[in-house]
Structure 1
Amino acid sequence: MIHFLKDLFNEHEFSIVEPEFLEGQSGFMAVNLNPSRLGFFLVLFKNEDVDFVELNELINQYFMNLKRLPVGYDKRMDKNFTLIICLKRAAFTYNETLNRSIFEVEEDPYHFRKLVLPYAEVEVQEFNELYRAEGITRGLYNLLNDKDKFYDFKKHSAESTAYHLTTRLFIKLPFLHYQGKEEELENLGSLINSRLKQINLNSLRDSALNFIKTNENVSLEEEITLINMWLEELDNE
């Protein structure tokens, strides 16, 4: 997962930095100084059995370390910094305690924005095997626009698939924006006319419209009687 995310950040013009204060912890920093895409991310990788009390203490420590960076600190970090905790899970079974801990981390208003990205190793493997060859970003967009994968996702929302990972990435990473594929829609009028012709009702429509145009004063009862006569003739054909 760490190589997956490093490559994804690189594709979006982020520079990857591995600060010394991580001290062997699995993680990295991603920095984009382009004013139109400004962003600073600290990405950590933890297992689902992590002690969240210790993790919160570590987050506070990292905040102080960031402020004291001798090289690399940028005052724009104060309003543009995001912590992403990639939480490796064996399976996406319901876990109320874990969900509450994730909620508390993400809702904590202090220091900087915090996001938790749950994932399963099989999701990353599936994506790498089927979609990574075209580039991670392109693969994510193509997968998200795959209608068959979407319907499978709706039917099996608790499964661990590349599509599930993709949806979480789009929810958590602010530089990913959904881009739907444009599809040429059929002309509805032409579609209706074609279908009426197939079931031998095209002439009925034309006759009814012509009757109404040439008999403006005809009563509704007479219109219904005439239409019923045409329907009976169709049934007898």
Structure 2
Amino acid sequence: MIKILKNIMVSNGLVVVDVDVDSEISDFYLYRGSSSQREEYFLVLELTDTSNETLRKFLDEKAQEIFEDIQKSGKVEIFFEKNCTMLICINSEKLDPELVLALEEDPYNFKKNVIIYSDSELAELDNYLVSRPMEAFTGDMINDVLNANDGRDFLAFKYQRGRNVLYDLVIRVVLKLPFLVYKPREQKLENLSEKIDEAISDDNYEIFNHMLKAEWTDENVLDHVESIWGDKI
């Protein structure tokens, strides 16, 4: 999963910062905006031990240690302290949701976003990327996934039934990364007048026009019905 996130970062104009951190976590990468107008950092890491105990220890101790080591590295700008998001990838479906929520709501140091994924979701995403002539995890690719199947995948995600694992993972990632923008597909509006004309038979078309032209009130409903339908009622 961290490989996918690295792809997303590079594809969206962020550059890697070469920084060493004295931590047990070896698989981590620091990115920053490539221009002065984009003063933000993203620290991407993966926890290989997916137990609740490890996550709790990370929340209580490791996050603080990493924050201090990066601050003292001399490789980051002053805005790092106020504008850095930690993206934590965890391959697990059995974590305590309350613990994940506590990690994301922890107000100290980094803003923390947890991306939980399963092996089946990651395999589906890998297959999707391999099957298409693209190397970058782009906004267009994201919108293709989220707009597919005429919105039925969103309803399945919302109501937790018959779900598309590819859609689930992509929308989870989009919700955690502020620079990814979902663009709903514009729906082509149908011409209702044409649809009505097509649905009404020739025999009933004259009656339909009379109904539209009549000025209906509570007092004249019966008169209009008799004049329009005559002996057909």
**What's the TM-score once normalised by structure 2's chain length?**
0.82
Matched ranges for 1:1-237 at <5 A: 1-17=1-17, 19-21=19-21, 22=23, 25-46=26-47, 47-50=49-52, 51-56=54-59, 57-70=61-74, 72-89=75-92, 91=93, 98-131=96-129, 133=132, 134=134, 135-137=136-138, 138-146=140-148, 147=150, 148-154=152-158, 156-157=160-161, 161-195=165-199, 197-198=200-201, 201-212=204-215, 220-227=218-225, 230-231=228-229
- Residue 144 of structure 1 aligns with an amino acid whose one-letter code is L
- Residue 86 of structure 2 aligns with an amino acid whose one-letter code is L
Task: Quickly say closer, same or farther: Cα 1:108–1:168, change in 2 above 3 A.
Answer: same
For structure 1, list consecutive stretches of 5 or more residues without a partner in the other structure. 213-217
- Residue 145 of structure 2 aligns with an amino acid whose one-letter code is L
**Fraction of identical pairs, as percent:** 23
- Residue 45 of structure 1 aligns with an amino acid whose one-letter code is E
Distance in 1 (CA, whole Å) between partners of 2:126 and 2:203 is 52
| Contact 2:106 2:112 survives alignment (8 Å) | yes
Decide which moves more: 145-154 or 59-68: 145-154
CA displacement, residues 80-115 of structure 1 (integer Å, 9 cap, x when unaligned): 1111111111x4x6x6xx111111111111112111
For the pair shown, which has the larger CA radius of gyration, 1 or 2?
1
Shift of 1:200: 5.0
Shift of 1:177: 1.4
Distance in 1 (CA, whole Å) between partners of 2:28 and 2:16 is 10
Distance in 1 (CA, whole Å) between partners of 2:214 and 2:162 is 58
CA displacement, residues 134-173 of structure 1 (integer Å, 9 cap, x when unaligned): 3422322110111243344345458571110111111111
Shift of 1:188: 2.7
Shift of 1:18: 5.1
| Contact 1:45 1:85 survives alignment (8 Å) | yes
